[in-house]
Structure 1
């Protein structure tokens, strides 16, 4: 009888396996593999080697606190001569002396998780069991049988592998590309993502059931949506929109997800203060990409928040154009969420593909502050009866807007706008830093037969009450135009272009004002005003009415995001018609310049010189640059300037970089001072691999 077989040493070969599984950027400290794809391990035995026909080998994989085969969190399988499809299996690759190489493959619908791997040996009389090691198993967009399979390699590189991106802010007429460091493969981020899953209330209540559902990207994305905000749980980010951030970090100061997620873990999974929609979305994108679910950040301009689910956004204004207080329905200048790619077997093949997942806490879904996954195709077709949260997303991009304007005499005039909501829906283009417009994936062209067909179908689904005003073109129109040079520190003009398209002269009341506004629509004090109580419009005429906006008026009251809301309100005294025109404008920050000195090679020091010219007529104090860059610099690095930066002078620092990864990398920069805040910049750097 042969001696018993004992495992002396095991080698998970993390470096090779991780590279083969597209997780090489995580490093080689942990084995991180994708489901449905084989990986190889090396075993060394004593006092003898493996003998085919004599030794029987079995493996056990387990994940979760109470693993079981019934819940799909445990598998017990024999080592054979060939891998099997659809189940956990193992096969001998080679055997030489006391060494054995095994190939192991999980099923493409395995539960993701942190697994232990145990080897059992038997020679017929003696049995042994010992630990081989641990591994992380994640989703696999490269595997056609995986529910997150993505066909095109360039899209997998963008939506899974790319550790940086662009989040679009600003306004629909002045779209501002803001760089972001997703850093999903940075040290510790994978462990933090699984900690996030284990912190969710469903896991705390029933860990067996929760872990058993971790094979389903629909379930995982819903958990991530809930856990990125902290409204119901110990989630990652605390949302705040009131410009009071003294006990935390201004949401506009973040430039990446890594620092946010590390802070959450470092301080005992207490919510990080503070986040707003683009921060929630970007962190969710990092988590989903890290777990293997293709993901991208989306920006919707003029995004509606429909609180009573009637597909109408009701806005109440006084005769001066001021919003009345306590309005529940809102229109945000822009709103960010993410799309995650997956199949929807629960809904049908037509609804496979991109799904809206929104972690910003707005409304509850099944008693939890989360949203989605809602199929983008269902939103486009107005299929509001499908899960999850399709009606809410449909309203965000498709709701009509009614303005109720109270006149001086107390009467109320109504104005309907069917085209305001859901414009220039944007995401980063594949492989480029440019914008891709994906509005057509959410809605049919405004005014088309399909657009009205879908809207009527949606109206019937939510039982919208009849009798609301229809959109009747006015004989008097207003368009708001802007001038060049809308840069921070400058004075500039804006214009109301009024057209009287009738045969009669019109006598009108006209009010034109400008106020700083944040992206959710909360306005500050007036920074420009013109009141014309007796404006005369000649028949078939056009008038351009200028309004000067001075830095001395807007500079001290500018809100985060550098937005100013223009509002023009005209009342036709002949028939009391009210014509309303609004536009949000974006005042541009100065550029940040980044100059890289040194030869950009892996494991070779580089120096980045970062500078910004003060565009204001006053000194900048408390100046600080912050940088992040996956594969370029470890974590977040800050450098403060010693003294003030005078008008026209450069704020300048140097920072050392030590690239750990080759390929295209992005250095992301933020600048803060007393008068300029949240100024962003970036530099693309191509890092050459080390010589072989």
Structure 2
């Protein structure tokens, strides 16, 4: 009889992918499994059958130059801390035996090679080779990224689409984003990101050893998403000039960014801003098996001198000035990853803040975190990593100062504005989940307009007028494109004497991340005089007509300020509010939602009604991972006010599960993009 040899190794992909919840990665030509759980390999023997009494089998598993040799036994007892290989004695086919390989729950993430060797009694050795990709395992209780509920794992590990929240707390914008976890090439690019990192290039052995730890992996990824210190994925640009690349607002998913980065030989993709950095990082972390969600902090402070105070300066007519080095972003977006913090004291496990947007260096490179959310809430600024920086982002106080010719006229303080709302997408639903309470112990969850009173310690305080006046500024409703912006200024004379007041109202356009040293453009203002009787309350109703904000409409923010000056005492008082103008929505309808199954053609319709008082035209782009191959573009002819346009789209789903169909209309005669999305469920055929 011909002697024993291994003719073929079957990686049993379909069975292993289902068992390891990696079915989405079926397009990869490498088996994808999760650590801490066994996977099955079947052997087809040539010649005589395998004889357990005289033959033995060993598996050599290799990650770079690191390797471990594992004897194949008949004991099915696996260890969470050691590699193990075994044959199941029940139903064992010795001509085609199956071997199960189990990795430790703390094995390093990466692309492994293995060598399967059979040794016969006469000393002959027969070998076969294979490869597999090993990811973290949030389903395994012994893994540092274990997250305990199935709906959390579906949302934070497997979900390939989501919502990014932008705008302002009073006028939220839900921007759809495709994480593209399962698009061809994305898995390989996420693994290559680790290989391209400076940590790997400088010391491959140490990098491979450290990849067992999600704290280490997350810091490497946070640094590699931006390109400030390495061959990272994205180049940031907040200049407004995007001619050398892509306007960050036009990206709709992570897949095209990661593919472009890989295809360019790992040259940075131009350009990103905070939500792009965070969304791409979320893709990488979910692909690697680390639970991740995108988080928005509204009114996020960048405290340059770490004094927990942000200073904002205004002129005596309400124009915001460029004196401060501090800044407040109307919204800033980062990610949270779920992990056990074995490097810290107990109680710091769970969600950790990671921020790939390059702002400040951490350990010498532009990355941020992982900072335990619990440490931020408890003000444990002594703990790793970057807790003081994130604490300031959600807790700094705002000092609003009115200046004239280098002299302070008024100072008021606001302790509620920064971090007024911190949120993420809800589990299983396309809506907001408020997580402010995770970060802040005492937090008013009601979003209200802020009134300003001359403070007790104001540098302009006069004993008899320090409590003489109160003013508030309130938007009547959330502003909508094509409609007037209606707001109310309420002025209260708190004294038993008449007052003559100068009133200055000023609206300036700004980007969401207004940078220190940058002038804001005033596009609307009005000035007047009012008289207040003793103890009188006067309400001023104001409107900004659509024609005034037409050229500043879009992703911009508006800073609205009211400054009142007591003509008798020369006292000044300020109230301000920042807001965005909600865009109209695209409507998406699917002809027969209940009939969505893989590989069967279906039709969707995208429609838009022009709410503006002038014609618009532009380019419609439709995308949907798992529903449409790539992106489809349509040019829209001029659409007159009040008219409606429809565009039919062909869908051919290629995988099951919940999918997002998204559309964006880039208007050419207004600097604005109109968006819409629809969640659909693709059933088993």
TM-score calculated relative to the size of structure 1: 0.91
Instruction: Tell me the CA shift for residue 388 of structure 1.
Output: 0.5
SS of 1:95's equivalent? Answer: coil
Residues 219-244 of structure 1, C-alpha deviations (whole Å, 9 max, x = no match): 11111111111111111111111221
**Retained in 1: the 8 A contact 2:119–2:126?**
no
Residues 444-487 of structure 1, C-alpha deviations (whole Å, 9 max, x = no match): 12489xxxxxxxxxxxxxxxxxx999999955332222234732
SS of 2:522's equivalent? Answer: coil
1:515 matched to which residue of 2?
508
Select which of 244, 254, 263 maps to 1:257.
254
Select which of 619, 634, 639 maps to 1:640.
634
Matched, 1:396 2:393: yes
Select which of 574, 584, 588 maps to 1:594.
588
Matched, 1:607 2:603: yes
Matched, 1:195 2:192: yes
Matched, 1:204 2:197: no
* Cα distance change, pair 345–489 in 1 and its aligned pair in 2 (3 A): same
**Retained in 2: the 8 A contact 1:167–1:180?**
yes
2:216 matched to which residue of 1?
219
**Retained in 1: the 8 A contact 2:36–2:105?**
yes
Select which of 176, 187, 198 maps to 1:179.
176
Residues 570-608 of structure 1, C-alpha deviations (whole Å, 9 max, x = no match): 234555544222212221211101121243122101122
**Retained in 2: the 8 A contact 1:4–1:126?**
no
- Counterpart mapping for 1:33-432 below 5 A: 33-64=33-64, 67-68=65-66, 74-82=67-75, 83-85=77-79, 86-93=81-88, 94-128=91-125, 130-325=127-322, 327-407=324-404, 410-432=407-429
**Retained in 1: the 8 A contact 2:408–2:459?**
no
Instruction: Tell me the CA shift for residue 281 of structure 1.
Output: 0.8
Distance 1:510 1:613 in 2: 39
2:564 matched to which residue of 1?
570
Residues 467-508 of structure 1, C-alpha deviations (whole Å, 9 max, x = no match): 999999955332222234732223332221222233333333
Select which of 595, 619, 622 maps to 1:624.
619
**Retained in 2: the 8 A contact 1:624–1:641?**
yes
2:495 matched to which residue of 1?
502
**Retained in 2: the 8 A contact 1:624–1:638?**
no
Instruction: Tell me the CA shift for residue 102 of structure 1.
Output: 0.8
**Retained in 1: the 8 A contact 2:301–2:328?**
yes
Choose 373-382 or 46-55, whichever is displaced more.
Answer: 46-55
SS of 1:546's equivalent? Answer: strand
Instruction: Tell me the CA shift for residue 619 of structure 1.
Output: 2.2
Distance 1:569 1:642 in 2: 44
**Retained in 2: the 8 A contact 1:512–1:547?**
no
Distance 2:628 2:330 in 1: 34
Instruction: Tell me the CA shift for residue 25 of structure 1.
Output: 1.3
2:451 matched to which residue of 1?
none
**Retained in 1: the 8 A contact 2:512–2:556?**
no
1:24 matched to which residue of 2?
23
Distance 1:221 1:55 in 2: 44
Distance 1:388 1:308 in 2: 18
* Cα distance change, pair 322–642 in 1 and its aligned pair in 2 (3 A): closer
Instruction: Tell me the CA shift for residue 562 of structure 1.
Output: 4.3
Distance 2:357 2:237 in 1: 11
Matched, 1:561 2:555: yes
Choose 572-581 or 246-255, whichever is displaced more.
Answer: 572-581
Residues 287-331 of structure 1, C-alpha deviations (whole Å, 9 max, x = no match): 101100001111111100011111111223332333333632100
**Retained in 2: the 8 A contact 1:112–1:138?**
yes
- Counterpart mapping for 1:651-662 below 5 A: 651-662=645-656
SS of 1:107's equivalent? Answer: coil
**Retained in 1: the 8 A contact 2:409–2:460?**
no
1:539 matched to which residue of 2?
534
1:684 matched to which residue of 2?
679
1:453 matched to which residue of 2?
none
1:452 matched to which residue of 2?
none
Residues 22-51 of structure 1, C-alpha deviations (whole Å, 9 max, x = no match): 110111533111100111111111112211
**Retained in 2: the 8 A contact 1:611–1:650?**
yes
Instruction: Tell me the CA shift for residue 403 of structure 1.
Output: 2.5
Residues 139-182 of structure 1, C-alpha deviations (whole Å, 9 max, x = no match): 00000000000011111111111111111111111111111111
SS of 1:552's equivalent? Answer: helix
Distance 1:49 1:469 in 2: 93
SS of 1:644's equivalent? Answer: strand
Instruction: Tell me the CA shift for residue 628 of structure 1.
Output: 2.4
Residues 257-276 of structure 1, C-alpha deviations (whole Å, 9 max, x = no match): 11111111122211111111
Matched, 1:650 2:647: no
**Retained in 2: the 8 A contact 1:562–1:588?**
no
1:481 matched to which residue of 2?
474
**Retained in 2: the 8 A contact 1:509–1:571?**
yes
Distance 2:109 2:460 in 1: 51
SS of 2:538's equivalent? Answer: strand
SS of 2:637's equivalent? Answer: coil
Distance 2:322 2:404 in 1: 17
Distance 2:361 2:485 in 1: 43
Distance 1:610 1:118 in 2: 53
- Counterpart mapping for 1:431-442 below 5 A: 431-442=428-439
Distance 1:343 1:505 in 2: 63
**Retained in 2: the 8 A contact 1:4–1:122?**
no
Matched, 1:663 2:663: no
Distance 2:118 2:460 in 1: 77
* Cα distance change, pair 193–17 in 1 and its aligned pair in 2 (3 A): same
Q: Once superposed, what is the RMSD of the aligned Cα atoms?
A: 2.3
Residues 636-674 of structure 1, C-alpha deviations (whole Å, 9 max, x = no match): x13122632233223432222111122322112211121
Residues 516-559 of structure 1, C-alpha deviations (whole Å, 9 max, x = no match): 22211367532321223x4333332222223321222211133x
Q: How many residues in Structure 1 have an aligned counterpart in Structure 2?
A: 660
Distance 2:227 2:333 in 1: 18
List runs of 5+ in structure 2 lacking aligned partners.
446-456
**Retained in 2: the 8 A contact 1:400–1:417?**
yes
List runs of 5+ in structure 1 lacking aligned partners.
69-73, 449-466
